[in-house]
């Protein structure tokens, strides 16, 4: 395969992604929903006044002209906490997904292409990693280090969720390495790393991208679960922390506290729905077997 074809592959992948999103109304709507939530979480804190003092006279009040979503158990504005609390779970989700998919792609592609001792060692490491339950590891670490940051949790999630995807990527690489364009690349003496990262992995871009999106969902759920269990420090605004505070203060018994409980859950669910809907359309666009139908 010529270098021109290799260079054109990213453009073809981007074209397929755009075509898949615009051809499917549900996929386009899903992408817009996900982008809207991201804009709310990352751009919102830049355009609002983040000052949110406590007010003992306005504890658990309902929506009003001054506080559109009411206040919490400290008399703080719920809308401001909602806006300020979105960046951390989304960043952790992206970080964990990037680590998990990155490790799986590199290890799986090299193991599947090189085979032999490299493949054996990679599979042994994967088997060991699979025996370590990620949720238990996070519980132990957070119990030992109470000041652990959400970023560290994201790293742990990423480093404990790559083995399953690695095996899938390895299997696909073992199939691709027998294709004619790989044989042509070998004849050109392109080198192992160049063949793996410029010839093989680009052919799996759709599959890897879809798993990246799914990994974001799983990481966000794991982070929120840690906050809900009270295992992470309350050092910054976070949607998971809002849910945990609602549970700890028995806010679910107070009708005026409904929005403080519901809005962070709604933001997480809406973001997940947007990503999943977008993923289905991307799968149809990027999977050659589905694209033919």
Residues 236-261 pLDDT 10s: 788 988 988 888 888 878 888 889 98
The two three-digit tokens of residue 52, written as one number: 């949110």
pLDDT value at position 28? 85
In a domain, 286, yes or no: no
In a domain, 14, yes or no: no
DSSP 8-state code for residue 257 = G
pLDDT value at position 246? 86
pLDDT value at position 14? 65
pLDDT value at position 3? 44
The continuous run of DSSP H or E covering 175 comes out as helix 163-176
In a domain, 30, yes or no: no
Tens-digit pLDDT profile for residues 135-150: 777 777 777 776 777 7
Which CATH number do you get for residue 107? 1.10.3720.10
In a domain, 116, yes or no: yes
pLDDT value at position 290? 47
Q: How confident is the model at residue 123 (pLDDT cuts 50, 70, 90)?
A: very high
Least confidently predicted of 29-38, 106-115, 204-213: 204-213
Range of the domain at 244: 43-274
Least confidently predicted of 212-216, 232-236, 271-275: 232-236
| pLDDT(111) > 90 | yes
Tally the domains of the chain: 1
| pLDDT(35) > 80 | yes
In a domain, 9, yes or no: no
Least confidently predicted of 1-5, 9-13, 116-120, 254-258: 1-5
Q: What is the distance between the alpha carbons of residues 233 and 100, in angstroms, rounded to a whole number?
A: 24
DSSP 8-state code for residue 75 = S
pLDDT value at position 34? 93
Computed over every residue of the chain, the mean pLDDT equals: 83
In a domain, 49, yes or no: yes
Tell me how crowded residue 59 is: count the other CB atoms within 10 A of its CB.
Answer: 17
Least confidently predicted of 10-19, 35-44, 153-162: 10-19
Q: What is the distance between the alpha carbons of residues 210 and 212, in angstroms, rounded to a whole number?
A: 5
| pLDDT(24) > 90 | no
| pLDDT(81) > 90 | yes
In a domain, 24, yes or no: no
What value, to the nearest 5°, has the Cα angle with vertex 23 and ends 169 and 172?
10
| Burial call 241-265: b when 16+ CB within 10 Å, e when fewer | bbbbbbeebebeebeebbbbbebbe
| pLDDT(38) > 90 | yes
Q: How confident is the model at residue 7 (pLDDT cuts 50, 70, 90)?
A: very low
In a domain, 79, yes or no: yes
């Amino acid at each position: 395969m010529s270098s021109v074809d290799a260079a054109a592959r990213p453009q073809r992948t981007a074209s397929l992604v755009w075509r898949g999103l615009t051809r499917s109304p549900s996929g386009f709507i899903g992408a817009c929903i996900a982008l809207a939530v991201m804009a709310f979480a990352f751009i919102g804190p830049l355009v609002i006044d983040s000052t949110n003092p406590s007010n003992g006279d306005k504890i658990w009040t309902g929506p009003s002209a001054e506080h559109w979503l009411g206040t919490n158990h400290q008399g703080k504005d719920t809308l401001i906490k909602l806006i300020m609390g979105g960046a951390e779970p989304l960043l952790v989700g992206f970080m964990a997904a990037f680590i998990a998919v990155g490790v799986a792609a590199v290890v799986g592609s090299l193991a599947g292409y090189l085979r032999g001792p490299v493949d054996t060692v990679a599979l042994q490491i994967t088997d060991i990693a699979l025996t370590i339950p990620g949720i238990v590891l996070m519980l132990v670490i957070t119990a030992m280090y109470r000041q652990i940051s959400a970023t560290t949790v994201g790293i742990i999630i990423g480093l404990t969720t790559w083995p399953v995807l690695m095996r899938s990527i390895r299997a696909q690489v073992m199939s691709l390495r027998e294709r004619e364009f790989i044989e042509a690349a070998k004849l050109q003496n392109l080198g192992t790393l160049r063949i793996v990262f410029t010839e093989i992995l680009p052919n799996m871009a759709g599959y890897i991208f879809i798993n990246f999106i799914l990994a974001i969902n799983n990481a966000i759920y794991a982070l929120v679960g840690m906050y809900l269990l009270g295992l992470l420090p309350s050092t910054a605004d976070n949607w998971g922390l809002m849910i945990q505070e609602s549970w700890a203060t028995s806010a679910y018994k107070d009708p005026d506290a409904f929005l403080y409980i519901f809005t962070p859950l709604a933001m997480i669910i809406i973001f997940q729905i947007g990503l999943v809907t977008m993923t289905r359309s991307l799968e149809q666009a990027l999977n050659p077997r589905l694209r033919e139908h």
